[in-house]
Amino acid sequence: MARRLINCVVNGDETDFLCEDGDSLLDSLRNEVGLTGVKEGCGTGDCGACSVLLNGRVTCSCLVFSPEADGATITTVEGLADGDHLHPLQECFLEGAALQCGICTPGFLVAAKALLDANPNPTESEVRYGLAGNLCRCTGYDKIVRAVLEAAAQMREANV
């Protein structure tokens, strides 16, 4: 079958890629756009490792058909830092040792960004429920939750 050309904005850049209609956005981002920071842990929406912002909303890219991305704006973990300047969440994950193996980290960072964009001052419980769609098997979540709360505090401070 003929492949379809998709035009979208990925991490601020006009991007196009070819896909078959049944491809997932996750596969296209990884294999066609080369953004392998977007991870596959399950391919069925259960782990959150593939999280991206699709038109500003956090989504599992494994649950999106690639043609749906036509005209969309997409942010992946690769687009969180501003050049060499890390996003506060990235800083806090590093400082707080919130990653062990790091496979879940891209998805957590993207989901946590969406969480803090919507709720700059979450409680611990809100962070835990808000990130329940992201599985981490290494950390027991303790340091991840702390890093997100710390980043939220830093971002609030920077905004006053």
Partner 1 sequence: MRYFAPTTVEEAVGLLAEAPGRKVFAGATDVIPQMRAGRPEPDGLVDLKHIDRLVGVRKTATGWVIGAATPTSQLTGNAELSAEFPGLCEGAGLIGSDQVQNRSSLGGNLCNASPAADSVPAMVVNAMRAVIASGGGTRTVAVQDVPTGPGRTTLAPGEFVIEFELDSAPANTGDAYLRLIPRTEMDIAVVGAAARITLDASGTVTAAALALGAVAPTVVRVADAESALVGKAIDDDVLAAVAAAASAACNPIDDKRGTITYRRHVAGVLAKRAVTIAAERARNRASGTPSTNGGSH
Partner 2 sequence: MTIADDPATTLPGYKWVGTRPIRPDGFDKVTGRARFGADLTLAGMLEGAVLRSPHAHARIVSIDTTKALALPGVKAIVTGADFPEPAGNPTDQDMCRNAMAREKVLYEGHVVAAVAATSKRIARKALDAIEVQYEVLPHVMTVDEAMAPGAVLLHDGMITKGMDPAPTEPSNVASRVVYQRGELDKGFADADVIVERTFTTKPVHQGYIEPHAAVADTTPDGRSTVWCSSQGHFAMRAYSAKVLGWDPSRLKVIPAEIGGGFGGKTTIYLEPLAVRLSQKAGRPVRMVMDRDEVFMATGPASASKVTIKMGANKAGEITAAELWMAYEAGAYPGSAIGAGSMTALAPYNIPHFIIEGFDVVVNKPRVYSYRAPGAPQSAFAVESVVDELAHKLGIDPIDFRLQNAVEEGMQAPYGPKYQKIGFKETLEAIKHHPHYSAPLGPNQGRGVAAGFWFNAGMNSSAVVHINEDGNATVVTGSPDIGGSRASMALMAAEELGIDYNRVRPVVADTEQVGFNDVTGGSRVTLATGAAVVDACRKVIADLRARAAKTWDVPVEQVEWVDGQAQHVDGSQPPLSLAAIAKGWARTGGPISAAATLNARGVGAGFSTQLVDVEVDPETGHTSVVRYTTAQDAGRAIHPSYVEGQLQGGVVQGIGWALNEEYIYNADGKMDNPSFLDYRIPVASDLPMIDAVIVEVPNPGHPYGVRGVGEVGIVPPLAAVANAVAAATHRRFTDLPLSPPRVLDGILNGTEES
Ligand X SMILES: Cc1cc2nc3c(=O)[nH]c(=O)nc-3n(C[C@H](O)[C@H](O)[C@H](O)COP(=O)(O)OP(=O)(O)OC[C@H]3O[C@@H](n4cnc5c(N)ncnc54)[C@H](O)[C@@H]3O)c2cc1C
Please report how the helices 105-118 and 142-159 are oriented relative to each other, as an axis angle in degrees rounded to 10: 40
Query: Taking a C-beta distance cutoff of 8 angstroms, is the pair 20, 3 a contact?
Result: yes
Closer CB to partner 1, 95 or 117, in the complex = 117
Selected binder of partner 2 within 22, 56, 71, 120 (CB under 8 A): 22
Residue 153 CB partners (closer than 8 Å, separation 6+): none
Cα 28 from Cα 74, distance rounded (Å): 12
Residue type at 120? P
Q: Is 7 in the site for partner 1 (CB under 8 A)?
A: no
Closer CB to ligand X, 46 or 142, in the complex = 46
Selected binder of ligand X within 12, 22, 45, 71 (CB under 6 A): 45
Selected binder of partner 1 within 132, 137, 140, 142 (CB under 8 A): 132
Name the one range near ligand FES by CB under 6 A: 82-90, 115-123, 132-140, 146-154: 132-140
Mask for 48-87, x = binds partner 2 (CB under 8 A): -x--------------------------xxx-xx----x-
| Chain centre distance of CA 8 | 17
Cα 160 from Cα 157, distance rounded (Å): 6
